[in-house]
Amino acid sequence: MSDLETKPSAPPLAPVAIHDILREADTLVALMGKEPLGVVAELANTLTVSAHEAGAWEIEEAASNVRRLAAGGGPVVLAGAMRALTDAIARTESVVAA
C-alpha cells in the first residue's frame, strides 16, 4: 500500500452533514409553522438531534428550546423561539458559505 492509500484524507471545510442539516432545518421550520404543538415538538426534536450530530450547536440549542416550549402542554407562543431558530439557521448558513 502506498502512503497515499494509508493516509486519511482531510475533511471538507464545510462537512456534508452541515449542508444536510441546513437543508433539513429549512424544511422542518416550514413544517413547524403549519402543525399542532405536539408535531412541532417532534419536528424540533428531530432537528435538535440532527444538529447535534452535525455539530451545529447554535441550531441545536434553538431547536431544543422550541421543542421544550411546544411540549410544555399549555398555551404557548412560539414566535420568539421560532425567530431564534431561524436566526440560528441563517447565521450557520452564513458561516458555512464564508
Residues 71-81 have pLDDT tens digits of 987 788 899 99
Give the pLDDT confidence score for residue 71 in this predicted structure.
Answer: 94
The closest alpha carbon to 52, from 72, 25, 32, 90, belongs to 25
Residue 2 has pLDDT above 50, yes or no: no
- Give me the pLDDT at residue 16, please: 54
Q: pLDDT per residue over 25-75, tens digit each?
A: 888 899 998 999 999 999 999 999 999 988 899 999 999 999 999 998 778
pTM exceeds 0.75? yes
